[in-house]
Amino acid sequence: MERRDALKNLGFGSMALFTSTVFLGALQGCSSAVELDWKPVYLSPEEASQLGKVCEGIMPKTSTPGAIEAGVPSHLDSALANIYRNREAEYFKRGLNVFVANFNANQEVSFDKATTEQMAEAINSYFDKYEADKDILRNYRAEFRKEGEKDDVFVETYFVTNVVDSTIWSYFSSELVGKEVMAYDPIPGKYEGCIPYEPGQKAWSNV
């Protein structure tokens, strides 16, 4: 599966990371629990490791860096910490736990032993379901506007739809990707807004 195809599938119907904040190849290889080289401030170490596996399934390492190399999990954890009193941080954290539990219950391999490709396929399956049944996201959005306790179905939908957008957003706004993957000019000259696009040309970095 090419990265562009994975992104096209994963991005269907996904929403912004947190509505209250601006924080926001082939898929292959075995993947065990992600070892952290950073200290989470909102998520537990186990949850942070789990989030890393999900983010890498969305933006895997190929000939370019993956989400883990770009520091996406730590960036998202920092965003969550900044809105920890907001209900959406709770939705995200609870949704991650429900996602992992359902993965373990419904997949042939445990979450910790899943490959990057298996993780991507699992996330894709949710969006296939959302596309086949439009009422799922319609009901989810209606429920989002209501007060009160949310069930596991709601928080899992919240997590799945938001982790895709937040991972992609964080990935392409990271310094590593901005300098090594995208077209980067440390000393830009004058602005020229009408330069013709050349096929295969890299998008310009915003870092």
pLDDT, tens digit, 9 for 90 and up, residues 115-169:
999 999 999 999 999 999 999 999 999 999 898 999 999 999 999 999 998 898 8
Q: From CA 170, how far away is CA 58, in angstroms rounded? A: 12
The model's pTM: 0.73
Specify the pLDDT at position 195: 64
- Report pLDDT for 173: 76
Looking at residue 29, what DSSP letter applies? S
The larger pLDDT score, comparing residue 45 to residue 12, is at 45
In this prediction, what percent of the chain has a pLDDT beyond 70? 66
118 CB neighbour count, 10 Å cutoff: 20
**What is the pLDDT, as a whole number, of residue 35?**
58
Whole-number Cα distances in Å, 72 to 39, 54, 93, 126, 147: 13, 11, 16, 22, 30
Average pLDDT on 7-31 reads 38
CA distance 143 to 137: 10
